[in-house]
Every structure is written in structure tokens, then in C-alpha cells.
Amino acid sequence: MQEIGEKYFIGAVAGLVGITAKNLADLVFRRGRDGEGEVRTEEDSQGKFILGLIKYGTGILGGIGAAGYLRKAGRDRLVSKGVITGLAVGSVTDSLNRLAEPGKRQKRRDSLAGFMANAAYGLVTVAVAARFEAPRRNSDSLDEYIKQTRNEVEKERIKQTPVRYRKYAVK
């Protein structure tokens, strides 16, 4: 039971760190200008609060999903898993923002900036989840965790290979 709670906690922390990185990347890529596609409410502080809750809640749920996915699929190919996770969670967040103001259009440069910010979210979230979700072994570096995971995946693949083809499997 403690392992399940730990997975959710690590995923939530990874999601919070990732959404903070997304906000910073959004500031850098947009260079201070308001995003055309983001919903901006001028005087409605309650609307800003609700949109902030949606943004952070989606980020936390994405972090929990990323931690669970890394636990099942392994900790190899973190960059591709991070970018895919970021784009998936970002598309959900962006579609929820679009529901708030359906008639608002987005410029290409803002769309590309949002794409890069979502990728940054995924990369940071997956890196944090992989770092803290990784089993505690005798090493401290993430590269060694990845090598150990690849070896485990390769051994499992060889075990699942039919006996008559094992002589062709790479060891």
C-alpha cells in the first residue's frame, strides 16, 4: 500500500515541477508577450483562479500518469517519453483553455511557443519521475539507472523468446 501512495506522491511532485518548468519556458519562448491562444481574463480574478487550478491539476494528473507509465514501460528513452507525455498533457490543457473562449484564434508563433513549453513540461516531469521513481541501487547517476533498466528489459525479452530461437537472441 505504501508503494501505491509513493507513486502518486512522486507523480504529483513531478507534475508540479514540470508545470513550473512549463510556465518558465512559456515566459522564455513568448518573450514577455501575451499568448494569443491563452485565455486572459482582465478583471475576473475568480476566472484566473479557476484556470490556474485547471492548469496545475492537469499538470499533476499528467505527472502521476507519467510516473505510472515509467514504472510499467521502463526508464529508457526518457526524451521521447517526455516529449510525448508533454504534448499529450499539453493538448488536454490547451483544449480546456479553448473551451473557455471558443472564438479566439492563435498565431503560429504562439502555437510553436506553446508546443515547446509543453515539450519542456514533459521532459522535466519524466526526468523528475524517473529520478525519484527509480529503484534504489548502488549508484547515484541516472545514466546507470537507464543502463540497468535496459539490461533488465533485454533479459526479459530473451526469456520470452521461444527456446528454438534463443541461439539467435543477442546476449
How far is residue 166's CA from residue 164's CA, in Å, rounded to a whole number? 6
- Whether 68 shows a pLDDT value over 90: the answer reads no
- Per DSSP, the three-state class of 171 is coil
Please report which confidence band the pLDDT of residue 96 belongs to, taking 50, 70 and 90 as the band edges.
confident
Tell me how far CA of residue 29 lies from CA of 90, 104, 152, in angstroms.
Answer: 15, 20, 39
The C-alpha torsion from 47 through 52 and 57 to 62, rounded to 10°, is: 130
Predicted model pTM: 0.67
**Which pLDDT tens digit goes with each residue over 12-44?**
999 999 999 998 988 888 776 654 445 454 556
**Which pLDDT tens digit goes with each residue over 44-56?**
677 778 778 888 8
C-alpha Rg value of the chain to the nearest Å: 20
How far is residue 39's CA from residue 101's CA, in Å, rounded to a whole number? 7
Pull the grid cell for residue 5.
501512495
How far is residue 61's CA from residue 106's CA, in Å, rounded to a whole number? 26
- Whether 115 shows a pLDDT value over 60: the answer reads yes
pLDDT at 110: 74
How far is residue 87's CA from residue 95's CA, in Å, rounded to a whole number? 12
- Per DSSP, the three-state class of 61 is helix
How far is residue 54's CA from residue 77's CA, in Å, rounded to a whole number? 29
